[in-house]
Structure 1
Amino acid sequence: MSGAVPSPAEIAEALLAAARSAGAEAADAVVIEERSSGIDVRAGKLEEAGRSESMQLGLRVFMGQRSAIASASDSRPDGFSGLAERAVAMASEAPEDPYAGLAGPDELSAARDAAGLDLDDPTEEPEPAALEDWARAMEGAATAASGIAQAEASASWGRSTLHLAASNGFSGGWSSTMSSLSCTAIGGEGLGMERDYDYDVRTHLGDLRGAEEIGARAAERALARLGPRKPPTGKATVLYDERVAGSLIGHLLQAINGAAIARGASWARGLMGEAVLPEGLDLLEEPHRPRVPGSRRFDAEGLPTADRALVEKGLLQSWLLDLSNARKLGLSSSANASRSARSGPSPSAHNLRLTPGSATREELLADMGTGLWVTSLIGATINPNTGDYSRGASGFWVENGEIAYPVSECTIAGSLPDMLRRIIPANDGREHTGRVIPSLMIERMSIAGA
């Protein structure tokens, strides 16, 4: 290991060497180095200023079909032997798992970095004073709006470097940056107070929307929520705003996750090749989109990622699979493994894109006639086996295609499999996000209100 401060790549290779010395038959190591800073402003005062630096080390070892993971936050080399010995001792006592094991050398990605994805902003880390200026600008823009009682704003920046190395010959990693601005505004007085927010998150600092714009938008949204009522109980059309529409697709992803399928605990387990979305809609996985946080050339087991359709023309095409769950199902991994330093691989989706519609959100609101425009969701009761769906919601009641009044304390319910097959997408998905999911309209939803 060279240099006074070892790199994540050097640490990962040293962990593998320690695992071999401790008697491991195979091993992989993940090292994550993070650096971040943030500023919170509230009621015109600096609420919190923080900076953190951390190193997370995870070592997974195999003894035949037995495996175990040990993790640490100390990157000093003199502790690696103890970490490896602890992992080997745990693996020796672990139950056998016939599906455990690393990828074969012929399965590994040829890419070993994030070349072409532009995830690491070369801009210098912003000074704390700059972060505070942006936070104060958001807070000031929000409180400048008449009727806003208070606002809180946050500005943050971070850089993360990840490296994965394994005894099968894989060694690769990448660095990425993340900048964010967020503001929550509170309008009204006493028990009549309402809050709402706006935010922006980007890999590159220069791509962030303006602080004043974010603060003003948060205030506008909070003021629009004042004086809410409960909607009438019954069947009506529901329009999920783009800010919350991704949750519907998230529920589909949970249902097609290979871990749930292998356990038999998913309402989608018998739907491969069947309709899960309306005919003509695709749900695409796009792991190579530049400047998007979820982009990667390889997954957490070193397998190559690629663009593919999870759903094509409404028909389910693939589960989300890592190696272990793929083996349980007699399939090949879809290169969807993700992991932290403290846990082993598990399936997770990369960047997604749902086929957009031709109408704007405003046009869908006009077309819906009477119904509920949902802008916030609270809690969830979802049966993973049947897909029965119930969530608390707030937003706006729409009559004759126009907003009539704000709504709170209502429940929307239905059957997820049926709901997803009836979605009508708008065209307002945000291109810079990891999940480009537009506003989604669903007719004949059950609403419990007044």
Structure 2
Amino acid sequence: MRTPEEISQHLLDAARKAGAEAADAIVLDESSVSVEVRSGALEAAERSEGTDLGLRVFLGQRQAIVSSSDSRSETLTAMAERAVAMAREAPEDPFTGLANEAQLIRDWDIQALELCDPAPEPTAEDLLNDALAAESAALTVDGVTQVSDAAAAYGTHRVHLAATNGFSGGYERSSRSTSCVAISGQGTGMERDYDGDSRTFQSDLRNPDQIGRTAGERAVAQVGARKPATGVYPVLFDERISSSLIGHLLGASNGISIARGSSWLSDCLGQQVLPEHLSLIEDPHRRRMSGSRPFDAEGLPTQRRAIIENGVLTGWTLDLSSARKLKMASTGNATRGVSGPPSPSNWNLSLTQGERSRAELLRDMGTGLLVTSMIGSTINPNTGDYSRGASGFWIENGEITHPVNECTIAGNLRDMLLRIIPANDARPYLSRVVPSLLIEGMTLAGN
């Protein structure tokens, strides 16, 4: 059994021998175990292990990528020969290529990030007990008629990246999760909701009883939902789903969208896009976070940066290719799998929290909608026009009166984001730390 580092170096050697002028290789070694229960009994159990390989070769400004799940020596040689043959027929890309030596990370302290739990891997029985506990807790909630799914899982993920420019590095991360989906009501009046938690360290995971109970309480709270009135109202995006708004902003500030000219933020660099007291910080060095890493998929050091500072958009999210297209420097945000080239993506994020609680925002909004779940979306990437299906709770005189569903909320993201009012309820242990967000004057389509 060879290590991911040994496999990646073998791929590079094979690429050079096949005639590649430059190359990089990525090796992903993953294992996972999961269980699902239903009605107090084991419903499904699954364990998987596998190694996936990706090789990218360059001939001048032509590149080609091949992938495999077979790490035998003869397969690595065949991959390299195939990739070089493909590169000879590929069109030229003036923006492709490896990082130069001066751009590469020199050293890093992987232990400081605590990406992998040193505790023993949980047994299948441990996972089964967690799933059963979550299901049982949900069923104790008055009004819950069944649990459609309760599950627990554990996994490890090793990655190693090597390139002919001299970079070679890797790390391992772990994850442990528990989830529960509860159903309330009968027949056409059935409603469902969920709760779950996923952590790097098992000791940080929330209690399965709490997860199941919360899922049950959320499902029961949805009973009797009806359509709200059509009109213009304030909308409070619950902390569970508020990060989706920030996700739309991140998508619009992604270097690929900017380079293509297909972003509603294209002309907003250096301009105010959030209220002036809010900042959006990216920090890939937070401990025990799924979005943490010392270097990106091109061997560049990751860095803490203010994507938005005091409401002003400071820059785009870039990998090497998109940076070259825009005549800028990479922000160290490249990600990649084994079958495609790098592309820019974001790491851990946090939005400035407000001074008021969610309850205080509800009280002050008067009449409007608290959104706890969203389905579907129609987002115009060029204009930022926004429309999504939503469900949640109706607010009258600052208090929740009844659940609502089958409605649509609409607006324009550029205008919406400039009006957001944050609560102070963000969960600090998530990779995206975003509180509940109130936006006044949104169009609501219901009855």
TM bin, normalised by shorter chain, reads over 0.9
Query: Number of residues paired by the alignment?
Result: 446
Cross-structure match for 2:88: 92
Deviation string for 1:352-373 (max 9, x for gaps)? 0100001111111111111100
Give the gaps of 5 or more residues in structure 1: none
In structure 1, what is the Cα distance between the partners aligned to 2:444 and 2:278?
A: 26
Q: Paired residue for 1:377, among 367, 374, 378?
A: 374
In structure 1, what is the Cα distance between the partners aligned to 2:25 and 2:93?
A: 19
Q: What is the CA distance between 1:113 and its match in structure 2?
A: 6.0
In structure 2, what is the Cα distance between the partners aligned to 1:111 and 1:189?
A: 59
> 2:35 aligned with 1:22, yes or no?
no
In structure 2, what is the Cα distance between the partners aligned to 1:88 and 1:399?
A: 66
Describe the SS at the equivalent of 2:110.
Answer: coil
Q: Paired residue for 1:51, among 25, 40, 47?
A: 47
Q: What is the CA distance between 1:405 and its match in structure 2?
A: 0.4
Query: Given that residues 113 and 174 in structure 1 are in contact (C-alpha distance below 8 angstroms), is that contact kept between their aligned partners in structure 2?
Result: no
Change (3 A) 1:113 1:55: farther
In structure 1, what is the Cα distance between the partners aligned to 2:57 and 2:358?
A: 51
Change (3 A) 1:71 1:305: same
In structure 1, what is the Cα distance between the partners aligned to 2:424 and 2:80?
A: 51
In structure 2, what is the Cα distance between the partners aligned to 1:248 and 1:83?
A: 41
**Counterpart of 1:323 in structure 2: which amino acid?**
L
Cross-structure match for 2:245: 248
Cross-structure match for 1:102: 98
Deviation string for 1:35-76 (max 9, x for gaps)? 100000122221110000011100000000000100000112
In structure 1, what is the Cα distance between the partners aligned to 2:426 and 2:56?
A: 39
**Counterpart of 1:64 in structure 2: which amino acid?**
G
Q: Paired residue for 1:6, among 2, 25, 34?
A: 2
Q: What is the CA distance between 1:164 and its match in structure 2?
A: 0.4
In structure 2, what is the Cα distance between the partners aligned to 1:373 and 1:77?
A: 57
> 2:380 aligned with 1:387, yes or no?
no
Deviation string for 1:243-270 (max 9, x for gaps)? 1000000000010000000000000001
> 2:293 aligned with 1:296, yes or no?
yes
In structure 1, what is the Cα distance between the partners aligned to 2:92 and 2:46?
A: 44
In structure 1, what is the Cα distance between the partners aligned to 2:331 and 2:47?
A: 37
Describe the SS at the equivalent of 1:302.
Answer: coil
Cross-structure match for 1:239: 236
Cross-structure match for 1:226: 223
TM-score (norm 2): 0.99
Q: What is the CA distance between 1:343 and its match in structure 2?
A: 1.0
Query: Given that residues 361 and 428 in structure 1 are in contact (C-alpha distance below 8 angstroms), is that contact kept between their aligned partners in structure 2?
Result: yes
Describe the SS at the equivalent of 1:250.
Answer: helix
In structure 2, what is the Cα distance between the partners aligned to 1:234 and 1:77?
A: 65
5 Å-filtered alignment, 1:94-133, equals 94-111=90-107, 114-133=110-129
Give the gaps of 5 or more residues in structure 2: none
Q: What is the CA distance between 1:115 and its match in structure 2?
A: 3.1
Describe the SS at the equivalent of 2:153.
Answer: strand
In structure 2, what is the Cα distance between the partners aligned to 1:126 and 1:253?
A: 36
Describe the SS at the equivalent of 1:96.
Answer: coil
**Counterpart of 1:36 in structure 2: which amino acid?**
S
**Counterpart of 1:407 in structure 2: which amino acid?**
V
In structure 2, what is the Cα distance between the partners aligned to 1:124 and 1:62?
A: 42
Describe the SS at the equivalent of 1:85.
Answer: helix
In structure 1, what is the Cα distance between the partners aligned to 2:340 and 2:425?
A: 36
Q: What is the CA distance between 1:277 and its match in structure 2?
A: 0.6
Cross-structure match for 2:263: 266
Q: What is the CA distance between 1:135 and its match in structure 2?
A: 0.2
Query: Given that residues 114 and 173 in structure 1 are in contact (C-alpha distance below 8 angstroms), is that contact kept between their aligned partners in structure 2?
Result: no
Deviation string for 1:275-301 (max 9, x for gaps)? 111111000010100000110111100
Describe the SS at the equivalent of 2:251.
Answer: helix
In structure 2, what is the Cα distance between the partners aligned to 1:317 and 1:365?
A: 32
**Counterpart of 2:98 in structure 1: which amino acid?**
L
Cross-structure match for 1:438: 435
> 2:283 aligned with 1:286, yes or no?
yes
> 2:64 aligned with 1:74, yes or no?
no
Is 36-45 or 190-199 further displaced after alignment?
Answer: 36-45
